[in-house]
Amino acid sequence: MAPSRDSLAASPAATPCDSASLSSSIVFLDNGAGDIKCARVPSDHFSAEDIREAVGAAVRIPNAACRPRVEVPGVPRRAGNVMYGSELRSCRDFSEMSFSRPHQRGYVCSWGLELDIWSHLLNNEQAVDAQGTHRNAIITTAPCFNPGHMIHAESELVFEYLGFQRYVQLTSQAMPAFAASTSSHACVVLDTGFSFSHAVPVIDGRVIWRAVRRLDLGGKALTNQLKEIISFRAYNMMRDTAVVNAIKERVCRVSPHYLAEIALENKKPRSRRYTPTPDYMLPDATTGYKDPLGFVIDPANVPTLDPTAQTLALTNEKIFIPELLFSPSDIGLGQAGVAELVCQAVEACSAHLPPDEAMRLRALLYGNVQVVGGNSLFPGFVKRLLADMRPLVPAEIKLQVLRAPDPQLAALEGSMFFTQQWMESGRPLFVSKAEYDEFGPNVCYSRFQSLA
Amino acid sequence: MDEAAAAAAAAAAERNSRKRKRKIAPRVLLAQVDESARLEARQRRLDALESDDVVAAGENDDEYEPDHASEDDYSDDAVVGAIVGKSKKKSKANSKPSKAASVSTTQKKQPSRQKQPVRRAIEAFNVPLDLVLAEEAKRAAVEGTTECTYEHARALPSRFPARRICSVCGFQAPYTCVRCGSRFCTVQCGVTHDETRCLKFTQ
Ligand SMILES: [Zn+2]
Ligand SMILES: [Zn+2]
């Protein structure tokens, strides 16, 4: 769901857990195409406090098998020299690292690879430690309209390969509606993640499926576009996905007025336009910089550079890359940007209602737009979303756009609150191994349909 | 003055590219590419933006060539590879998934080099997404739930006309590519567009 913002950086020290609690714990796994976010609660009966604690200790790892250019000491030898998750923390060289990802356009399509990644996560991350025989329950997420085929595959993976006793899959884009920061009973979630961006209206805990709208543009495409631009203009970084992704996250921002800003830039003499001050220091394994992904150069404090250091100066791509989310037609994608996406979803919700009711519903939804996903972390994102939406929304309607406190963990946190509420109400949530054995994967499909 | 110079330069670039292309593929130039071909070229370009730059872990070891030319990395099916790449390529070749039933056959052909063969049974589920979505659309049609599908959720086009923005670099773009309709701002971007996007995806 989210790009790998921070996923390569160190994460808080994991806390080992006693094995007694393992046998009753629930593992929550938000299976984003970019990063997996994973945490554990001690039992079926957990409090808001437990949720806060679990989210605080959540593990965030790339949903990928990573292949470094050179072997990393301390990582077990595997076929293809791959490494997973937290092993990246000891890696000091991300240049030319390649990533094999199980997802294709947001949906899992490589199940062997996903199994490897999940197995490694469950066996090696202490914060979610679900080793050995006491694998109790797992709650995963998948995107909207996850095909039955993928549910079938995942149920087999969870029950037969990983040995869990209970399992449920929730819709990741709907879950932020249940997070603590979302109080009202109607909202639109705008989840702009790694593979795509969704606008999902949720009313009284139910997703309005026919009104869900999806823009096929996410953080991965943005990183790839930036990779190309840098490669044509400065250095060939076509293989440096991790480094370019870090540059995107650390340097790019959303412009409040894109056309005005580039017009201003255009007026500058060409020589000034293309040789600005350096923005970014590229990592260099030989000189051993502290941050293996490089770092942003403080313009007020440009370091004295040794002659071999490679610096990168970005021009308008700083604002062009995030701009694509607001104006996908700039690269020929014939879909509306995120602001119109939210409006399309809201309009679809209210389309069949009588005028006054439609107006009331619109007011409710526009009054509570929840923004989540890694792309929302671009500075200026929320402001621009608000500015772009305002002229599209009737003037008498109050528009409110809120970004979740941690936009990348909102789905994980929401899935915990959702689970808590659902179980308190006494409705069936989990599919048990016994049910699965008796009725097959179809029982998963119909159970998951009944949720949210 | 700057404008005029740029215009002249761009015109020159266009002439240049015409000359060069005529050698490579005269057909592309002679026929004004029709709208559907334009759309397809754009779609392939967008698909390329979604690609991983990787080879599969532990599987395609033999095909892993760390030193191959970098421009080919990107959007080149052979390298896009990964586990799904093989089948992706296949589904692209016969662009309509005519044999949608071949759910697991595409994967069987891959030699399994994994140490624990028992694991790989799960890979019978590795099916190109387009096939899965086509199946899903069929099911929705039968169940009468087409309003709640992946297809239906796709964002509609913007209500505003496309801006004149260079598809390569993001600056204002006065020029339009005659082949695909993309915009570009300068000679430099025009050449980049021609070499890495336009021709690559219109052939
Ligand atoms: Zn340009
Ligand atoms: Zn073109």
pLDDT at A132: 52
Q: What is the pLDDT of residues A273-296, one digit of tens each?
A: 545 677 888 887 555 567 888 888
Alpha-carbon span A93 to A72, nearest angstrom: 9
Indicate yes or no: CB of B162 within 8 angstroms of CB of A330. yes
Give the distance (Å) from ligand 2 centre to CA of residue B203: 11
From the number of C-beta atoms within 10 Å of its C-beta (0-12, 13-18, 19+), residue A18 rates as exposed
Q: Which amino acid is at A160?
A: E
Q: Which CATH superfamily, name and number, covers A26-64+101-172+409-449? A: ATPase, nucleotide binding domain (3.30.420.40)
pLDDT per residue over A134-193, tens digit each? 688 999 999 999 999 999 999 999 999 999 999 999 999 999 999 877 667 899 999 999
pLDDT at B62 exceeding the cut of 60: no
pLDDT mean over B105-109: 40
SS3 content of chain B, % helix, strand, coil (to 5): 60, 5, 40
pLDDT at A435 (0 to 100): 95
Number of H helices, E strands in chain B: 10, 2
Is A283 in contact with A243 (CB distance < 8 Å)?
A: yes
A231: exposed, middle or buried (Cβ count in 10 Å: 0-12, 13-18, 19+) = buried
Q: Which of A410, A414, A366 is nearest to A386 (CA)?
A: A366
Sequence letter at residue B119: R
pTM: 0.82
Burial class (CB in 10 A: 0-12, 13-18, 19+), A16: exposed
Give kind and range of the element (H or E) at residue A188.
Answer: strand A186-192
pLDDT recorded at residue A15: 42
Q: What is the CA(B3)–ligand 1 centre distance, in A?
A: 14
**B43 — pLDDT class (breaks 50, 70, 90):** confident
Determine the pLDDT at residue A42. 86
Q: Do domains A186-217+336-403 and A219-323 have the same CATH topology?
A: no
Quickly tell me which residue has 């998934």 as its tokens.
B97
The pLDDT of residue B199 is 65
- For residue A431, the SS3 value is strand
Return the structure tokens found at B54. 């990787």
Fold of A186-217+336-403: Nucleotidyltransferase; domain 5 (3.30.420)
Does the pLDDT at position B15 exceed 70? Answer: no
Q: Which B residues, 75 through 114, put their C-beta within 8 Å of a C-beta on chain A?
A: 82-84, 88, 113-114
Contact call for A79 and B88, based on CB within 8 A: no
Domain boundaries, chain A: 26-64+101-172+409-449, 186-217+336-403, 219-323
Check CB contact under 8 Å for B169 and A265: no
Predicted local distance difference test score (pLDDT) of residue B117: 44
Q: How far apart are CA A58 and CA A126, in angstroms?
A: 10
Q: Residue A294 half-sphere exposure, CB side, CA atoms within 13 Å?
A: 28
Taking residues B9-35, report their average pLDDT. 47
Half-sphere exposure for B88 (CA within 13 Å, toward CB): 23
Tens digit of pLDDT at every position of chain A (452 positions): 344 444 444 444 444 444 444 568 899 999 999 999 999 998 889 999 999 999 999 999 999 999 988 887 778 878 778 889 888 888 888 888 889 999 999 999 999 999 999 999 998 877 776 555 468 899 999 999 999 999 999 999 999 999 999 999 999 999 999 987 766 789 999 999 999 999 999 999 999 999 999 999 999 999 999 998 888 888 888 889 999 999 999 999 999 999 998 888 777 765 555 456 778 888 875 555 678 888 888 777 776 666 777 888 888 889 999 999 999 999 989 999 999 999 999 999 998 899 999 999 999 999 999 999 999 999 999 999 999 999 999 999 999 999 999 999 999 999 999 999 999 998 999 999 999 999 999 999 999 988 87
Q: What DSSP letter does each residue of A6-61 carry, written as one string?
A: TTTS--PPPPP--HHHHTT-EEEEEE-SSEEEEEEESSSS--HHHHHHHHHT-EEE
From chain A, pick out residues whose CB is under 8 angstroms from the CB of B57: 65, 67, 78-80, 82, 100, 113, 116
Q: Is A77 helix (H, G, I), strand (E, B) or coil?
A: coil
Q: Do A116 and B158 touch (CB under 8 A)?
A: no
- Cβ distance A39 to A412 under 8 Å? yes
Q: What is the pLDDT of residue B135?
A: 93
- Burial environment of residue A49 by CB neighbours within 10 A (0 to 12, 13 to 18, 19 or more): exposed
Whole-angstrom Cα distance, residue A87 to residue A82? 10
The pLDDT, as a whole number, for residue B19 is 40
| Predicted pLDDT of residue A287 | 55
* Fold category of A219-323 in CATH: Actin; Chain A, domain 4 (3.90.640)
CB contact under 8 A, B129 and A144: no
CB atoms within 10 A of CB B181: 17
Residue A324: predicted pLDDT: 96
Looking at residue A398, its amino acid is K
Beta-carbon contacts of A178 under 8 Å, excluding residues fewer than 6 positions away, are A205, A414, A415, A417, A418, A421
Residue B202 in this model has a pLDDT that exceeds 60: no
More confident site: A49 or B62:
A49
ipTM of the prediction: 0.87
Could you say which residues from 146 to 185 on chain B have a Cβ atom under 8 Å away from some Cβ of chain A? 147-150, 152-159, 162-163, 165, 167-172, 181-182
**Higher model confidence: residue A216 or residue B30?**
A216
- Residue A202's SS3 state is strand
Indicate the residue of A80, A228, A335 with minimum beta-carbon distance to B155. Answer: A335
